Amino acid sequence: MRTPSRLHLQRLRQLWRSAGWPCQDLVEVELLAAGWVERLLEADGRERLRLTDAGIAHIAASLNRNRAARDAHEQLVERVATEMQRAGRIAWRGLSLRAGLPPAEGDDSGKTVWVNAMPDVYSIRHSTVEDYLEPAIHEIKVSRADLLGELRRPAKSAAYRALCGQCWFVIKAGIAEPDEIPPEYGVLIGHETHLELARPAPRRACKPDFATWMALARATPLLPPEDPQSAL
């Protein structure tokens, strides 16, 4: 193997953080065969594992990839939040919300299923009339794997839709086609310099429930973007 899989990288990080006591499973066999870890014999006869320079280099490369992905994600989140504010909306980032969903098909208990949701951007119109708030959620994806993983979790997607009247996916240009995203969502494509509207989000009447209002009251909305003309 020339490139470690996600499982191999996870085990390498575990060995780096621990004392290196072996599990003696097939994952470690592959790590040893690839030369990413080595065996050390302790004075008492016990054996432990230690990362080689090649193993450390793979961890460092993985860290740099993850950091770059986080930076790209945060930049796109900030751009979307700014656009919402310029459109006359109040925006929040990092909210922790709860959505009550109907029981799954085949569940005769009738109990509400509560799902936690942390949308990248949640926004409402700047209005004192509750019917005009039009809550919206924008979920930002900068990698195809992350997008596909989200689409495979229907409960999380349903929670987003339950919390807003417009639900959007904002995808980095090139990771997917708009047709791959279910029609219940609007699609914005994030380019280097602008956001492209690929498909508008269906609108539904929606008012924030009491739990959402409490979450908004505890959180701080984003400060409005600076006006470049304000200093003139």
List the pLDDT tens digit at each of the 232 positions of the chain.
678 888 898 899 889 888 787 888 899 999 999 999 999 988 888 888 999 999 999 999 888 877 776 788 888 999 999 999 999 999 999 899 998 888 777 676 778 888 899 999 999 999 989 999 999 999 999 999 889 988 888 888 889 999 999 999 999 999 999 999 999 999 999 998 899 999 999 999 999 999 999 999 999 999 877 654 444 4
For residues 149 and 156, give the distance between their C-alpha atoms in angstroms, rounded to a whole number: 11
- What percentage of the chain's residues is helix, strand, coil (to nearest 5)? 40, 25, 40
Q: Give the count of beta carbons closer than 10 Å to the beta carbon of residue 69.
A: 15
113-117 and 121-125: which strand pairing?
unpaired
Q: Is the pTM of this model over 0.75?
A: no
Q: Considering only CA atoms, which of 172, 156, 87, 74 is closest in space to residue 121? A: 74
Distances (CA, A) of 119 to 68, 73, 160: 21, 13, 7
Range 128-133 contact pairs with CB under 8 angstroms and sequence separation of 24 or more: 130/207, 131/205, 131/207, 133/207, 133/208
- Cα–chain-centroid distance for residue 219? 19
